[in-house]
C-alpha cells in the first residue's frame, strides 16, 4: 500500500511514517516545515519528503492519506483529498487500528513529562529484553529513533490534543491502553480547550477505554487528576509520589541530592538507589512513573533502576548541544510555564552559582495568548538573564514578562538580533539554554557555531 502523510515532520506523524515503512508500506509525505531532527530520521529511512502542500505530491493518487492534526480545511492538499475522494484517516486512528489493537499498550499521558517518561519506560523494557515497540514525541538518545514496531508491549505517548480537523476527540481515545500513566494535569492547548474542565473531560473519556483488569498509575500530588478519577474509574489504581511523612502511596521517590541526580525509589518496603545523569524533581517523578509502569510489564524495580542508570535522555529535553568559549549550550523543548520552571530549577540546582542565560521562543498558541501570562515570568526566575523572541500575534507585552522574571532581559523580533544580544552578554562559565517547542530557526546550533 502507498501511504502519503500530510504533516509528516511532526514527531507523531513522523513516527507513524517509520512504523508504516517497517510494515512494508511505501511511504511519502508532505510538510510546510522540514527541519531536524525528524527530517533527518525520515531521510535515513528513505522516505521522500515534499516541502509544502502542493496537491501534485498526491499524484498518482495514494491508497491512503494520513492527515496530521495541524492541518485544516482550506489547505490545498486537504481540498484535493476531499474532492478526489482519496481514502483518508487520522494518524491516531490508524495507529490504534493497525498497531495497538494487537499489542499490550502502555500509554503515558499528562501535561508535562510524556516524552521523557515514555522514553525512560521504553528503555527499561528494552534493557529487560522485552523488545518494546514505541511511538514517542521525541527521539530518545538510547534508541536514536522516535518509533519502532517491536514485539508485544508498545509504549505510546498519549496526547490530549485533538485528533484531526474532522475528529475533535483527544488523540489518546484511540489507544485503549492496558496501563495508563497520568503524570499531571494543567490547562494547556487554549486553541482547542476553553478551560481545565474541558481537558479533564477528555481524560475521563480515556478512563472509560481502559479495561477492568488494566491499571491506572496516578500522580498522587495532582488534585486535577483526583477530580478526573472522581468522575469514574473502572480499573485498578496505584498512586506514585515523593517520599513524605504519612505517605501511603505504594510508589515513592526521594531526592537524595538537590539536583535530582541521586534518587531512592521505595516499593513494598524495599528501597533502590539510583545515580544517573538527569536533573530535577520533574525527572524524578517521570522516572518513578516509568518504574511503576515497567513493573506492570513484569520488570522488577532493581532491573528498572539499573536501566535508568544508563538512560541518556531525549533530544531537545535540556540537551547539551555543544560548548563555545567555555559556555555550555542547551536545546530544550518548552511548551508550558510549569515545564519551563521545573527544567530551569533543576539546572540551577546542578550548576549552583554559575550564570544561567535563557533564550525563549513562546511559539505555541497557548503561550502566545494571555492564558499563561501571569506564570510565564516567574517560571523564568531561575535565570540571570532572559532573551525573548517576539512575534506577531502575541497578546502580551514582553517587558512585563521580563520584569516578572526578576532578572535582566531584552526582547527581539528576529533571531539574528537575539543571537547578537546573547553574545554581547555571555561569558565563559555561563550556561545558555534555548527553549522552544518549534525550530527556533536553529538558534542553538547557530550560537554554538558562531553563526548569525
Q: What angle do CA 155, 240, 366 make, to 5 degrees?
A: 65
Domains along the sequence of the chain with CATH: 2-89 (3.40.50.720), 99-308 (3.40.1190.10), 319-448 (3.90.190.20)
In the three-class reduction of DSSP (H, G, I as helix; E, B as strand; rest coil), residue 388 is classed as strand
For residue 202 the three cell numbers come to 477528555
For residue 56 the three cell numbers come to 501534485
Contact 376, 350 (CB under 8 A): no
Q: What percent of the chain has pLDDT over 90?
A: 75
Of the candidates 90, 263, 269, which has an alpha carbon nearest to the alpha carbon of residue 167? 90
- What lies within 8 Å, CB to CB, of 248 at 6+ separation is none
pTM summary value: 0.90
Rounded CA gap, 290 and 274, in Å?
A: 14
Beta bridge partners of 267: 251, 270
Contact 432, 357 (CB under 8 A): yes
In the chain, the largest separation of any two C-alpha atoms, in whole Å, equals: 65
pLDDT in tens, 380-421: 999 999 999 998 878 888 888 888 888 789 999 999 999 999
pLDDT in tens, 50-70: 999 999 999 999 999 999 999
Contact 10, 37 (CB under 8 A): no
pLDDT in tens, 162-219: 999 999 999 999 999 999 999 999 988 778 889 999 999 999 999 999 999 999 999 9
Helix pair 196-209, 223-230: axis angle to 10 deg: 50
Rounded CA gap, 369 and 194, in Å?
A: 13
Q: What is the pLDDT of residue 172?
A: 97
Of the candidates 342, 301, 368, 365, which has an alpha carbon nearest to the alpha carbon of residue 433? 342
Amino acid at each position: 500500500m502507498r501511504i502519503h502523510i500530510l504533516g509528516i515532520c511532526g514527531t507523531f506523524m513522523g513516527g507513524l511514517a517509520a512504523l508504516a515503512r517497517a510494515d512494508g508500506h511505501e511511504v511519502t509525505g508532505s510538510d510546510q516545515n522540514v527541519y531536524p531532527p525528524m527530517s533527518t530520521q525520515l531521510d535515513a529511512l528513505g522516505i521522500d519528503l515534499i516541502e509544502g502542500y502542493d496537491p501534485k505530491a498526491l499524484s498518482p493518487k495514494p491508497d491512503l492519506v494520513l492527515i496530521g492534526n495541524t492541518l485544516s480545511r482550506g489547505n490545498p492538499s486537504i481540498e484535493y483529498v476531499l474532492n478526489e475522494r482519496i481514502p483518508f484517516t487520522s494518524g491516531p486512528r490508524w495507529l490504534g487500528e493497525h498497531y495497538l489493537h494487537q499489542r499490550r499498550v502502555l500509554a503515558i499521558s499528562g501535561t508535562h513529562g510524556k516524552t521523557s517518561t515514555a522514553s525512560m519506560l521504553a528503555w527499561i523494557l528494552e534493557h529487560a529484553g522485552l523488545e518494546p515497540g514505541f511511538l514517542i514525541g521525541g527521539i530518545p538518545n538510547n534508541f536514536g529513533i522516535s518509533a519502532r514496531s517491536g514485539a508485544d508491549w508498545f509504549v505510546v505517548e498519549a496526547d490530549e490534543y485533538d485528533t484531526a480537523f474532522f475528529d475533535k476527540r483527544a488523540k489518546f481515545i484511540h489507544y485503549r491502553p492496558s496501563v495508563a500513566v497520568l503524570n499531571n494535569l494543567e490547562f494547556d492547548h487554549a486553541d482547542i480547550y476553553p478551560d481545565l474542565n474541558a481537558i479533564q473531560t477528555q481524560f475521563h473519556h480515556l478512563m472509560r477505554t481502559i479495561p477492568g483488569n488494566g491499571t491506572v498509575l496516578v500522580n498522587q500530588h495532582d488534585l486535577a487528576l483526583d477530580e478526573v478519577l472522581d468522575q469514574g474509574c473502572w480499573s485498578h489504581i496505584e498512586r506514585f509520589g515523593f517520599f513524605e511523612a504519612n505517605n501511603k502511596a505504594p510508589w515513592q521517590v526521594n531526592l537524595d541530592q538537590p539536583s535530582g541526580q541521586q534518587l531512592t525509589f521505595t516499593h513494598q518496603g524495599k528501597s533502590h538507589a539510583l545515580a544517573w545523569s538527569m536533573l530535577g524533581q520533574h525527572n524524578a517523578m517521570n522516572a518513578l512513573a516509568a518504574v511503576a509502569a515497567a513493573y506492570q510489564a513484569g520488570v522488577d524495580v532493581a532491573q528498572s533502576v539499573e536501566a535508568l542508570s544508563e538512560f541518556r535522555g531525549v533530544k531537545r529535553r535540556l540537551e547539551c548541544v555543544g560548548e563555545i568559549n567555555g559556555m555550555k549550550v542547551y536545546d530544550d523543548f518548552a511548551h508550558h510555564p510549569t515545564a519551563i520552571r521545573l527544567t530551569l530549577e533543576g539546572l540551577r540546582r546542578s550548576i549552583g552559582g554559575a550564570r544561567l542565560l535563557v533564550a525563549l521562543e513562546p511559539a505555541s498558541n497557548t503561550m502566545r495568548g494571555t492564558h499563561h501570562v501571569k506564570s510565564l515570568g516567574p517560571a523564568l526566575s531561575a535565570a540571570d538573564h532572559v532573551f525573548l523572541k517576539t512575534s506577531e500575534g502575541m497578546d502580551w507585552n514582553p517587558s512585563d514578562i521580563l520584569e516578572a522574571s526578576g532578572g535582566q532581559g531584552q526582547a527581539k523580533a528576529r533571531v539574528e538580533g537575539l543571537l547578537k544580544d546573547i553574545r554581547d552578554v555571555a561569558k565563559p562559565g555561563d550556561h545558555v539554554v534555548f527553549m522552544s517547542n518549534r525550530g527556533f530557526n536553529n538558534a542553538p546550533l547557530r550560537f554554538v557555531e558562531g553563526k548569525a
